Structure formats: C-alpha cells, structure tokens
Amino acid sequence: MLAKFLAEGDVVVLTGAGISTESGIPDYRGPSGALRRHTPMTYQAFTGDPAARRRYWARSHAGWRSMARARPNAGHHAVARLQRRGLVSGLVTQNVDGLHQAGGARSVIELHGSLHRVVCLDCRDTTPREELDRRLREANPRFGALVTAVNPDGDVELPGEAVEAFVPAACRACGGGMLKPDVVFFGETVPRDRVDACFALVERARLLLVLGSSLSVMSGRRFVLRAAKLGVPVAIVNQGPTRGDDYADLTVDAPLGPTLTHTADLLAPAAGS
C-alpha cells in the first residue's frame, strides 16, 4: 500500500528520531525513548548558566565519539534510493545526526541543525565538530567515560566529579566567545527561513510522508497541519501512534528499515536486481 502512495512521485519526506534508532541512536518518545531517563538541555540554561554549559559540553564530548561512529541504516539508504529515483522531491529531517547525508541523500533541510557543526554565539563563526573534539581532548587529557547509551542530542549521563573537572573551550576566532553546537535546543526557535523553506516544499508536494516521528511537538507537526489544510495527502510510518494520525490518509505501524527497504525495492530497485 505504501508503494502505491509513493509511486507517482513529488513526495516530501519528513523524518524524526525513529529513523535513526536502527543506527543505535535512541528516539525521544518511543518505548525506550531518551525522555524517560534524560532531560534535554534548554537554550536558556545553556546560555544563562555556566555550570549547565560545562555539564552539557562534558556530556556531549563523551557522547560525540559514539555519534560520529554511527552509520546510516537501511531506512536512510532506502530514502536516498527513492530520492535518486526521482520520487522524493524534498527531504526535511528533525534529526541532528547527519545520517541522511551519510546514506546518500541530497539537499537535506536539517530543521534542527547538525551536531557536526559548532557555532560561536558571539561572532557566529562556524567550525567542524571534529576540530572542537581535538581541542577538547587536548584540554582534557585525562577525561574518559564509559558510554552505555547516547541520547538523540548527542550527550550521555556522567558522574558529577567528571563534569566538575571538565575544561570547556571558547571560540578561537573572536578570542573567547561562547561555543554552541549548531543545533536548535529545546526552548529555542527554528530559524524562520528554514521553516519557510519547509512550508514551501509541503505546499508544492503531491504527498507528505512522515517517517519515524511521533509528531509530539509543533516543530514537525505544523507541516502535517499545513498539508492537511491544503489537501495534500499525508502518509505516516512510525512505531506507535502519532499526533498526526488523525490527519493521515495512510498510517503504517512497523519498523522503518524493513518497511522502507521493501518499498524501495518495489519502486527503486538496485542496479542488477
């Protein structure tokens, strides 16, 4: 049934954390989601509290290596195949892991930014995360942590003494500015031009396909609401119910990797198959 919905193309895809769980990155609100054990950093705490900022960078530094090692899974590859086949006309992700691009997708709008970049809040200079990782390793040569589970925003739980001993880094470009991962924290607003670009994709689409998102927050749900208002059909593939189900023309409750791979095999068979 999903393949029939996608067969005519002009599909805009919106993905959430659920598409990356098969790569070892947990989602927020699934059965074992990160929100059950972890409170994400807010923009207000990060910018206003030096202790909170130190805690974030210590935890994020510990988790970064796991995030950097994560690899795209079957779902990411299937979306890229559908895009190459010309069926997907736009791809928006709420994820900050960069796995769609690593899986071969092009022209991805990263609604919430990317953990692979770091921005200075004072001078707006942007640098690769790998560069900051090297600096933090140099500044914290004895820092080590046993990482058992990384959260969707890239950080992990650490004991208090490890956090207190951690030495953060400041911006080199302006000589001391506040560094922040180039992601939208809870309590922060997605840049308006990014939102407008996503709305424009939805308004031109024949179908909006939501993959791996509970649509619990307005950041992603607003695109489903806009599609419904315009009469653009909505299909949702997710494990568990979503807050967009009432607006959907098709809902599929199933693991994303096998479901999307089967769909791609039907619509965009690999060369030689």
**Percent composition of the chain: helix, strand, coil (DSSP 3-state, to 5):** 40, 15, 45
State how far the Cα of 165 lies from the Cα of 142, in Å rounded to an integer.
10
61 classed as catalytic: no
Q: Coil, helix or strand for 67? A: helix
CB 72 within 8 A of CB 100: yes
83 belongs to an annotated ligand binding site: no
| C-alpha 211 chain-centroid distance | 12
193 belongs to an annotated ligand binding site: no
198 belongs to an annotated ligand binding site: no
Dihedral angle over CA of 215, 149, 139, 50, nearest 10: 50
238 belongs to an annotated ligand binding site: yes
256 belongs to an annotated ligand binding site: yes
140 belongs to an annotated ligand binding site: no
In our burial notation (b when 16+ CB lie closer than 10 A, e otherwise), range 188-208 reads: beeeeebbeebeebbeebebb
95 belongs to an annotated ligand binding site: yes
- Which residue among 38, 77, 100, 112 is the active-site one? 112
Q: Is the dihedral of CA 174, 177, 182, 184 positive or negative?
A: negative
212 belongs to an annotated ligand binding site: yes
96 belongs to an annotated ligand binding site: yes
State how far the Cα of 47 lies from the Cα of 146, in Å rounded to an integer.
27
12 belongs to an annotated ligand binding site: no
> Among all residues, which ones are annotated catalytic?
112
* Sequence ranges of the binding site: 94-97, 120, 123, 171, 174, 212-214, 238-240, 256
* Sequence ranges of the binding site for NAD(+): 94-97, 212-214, 238-240, 256
* Sequence ranges of the binding site for Zn(2+): 120, 123, 171, 174
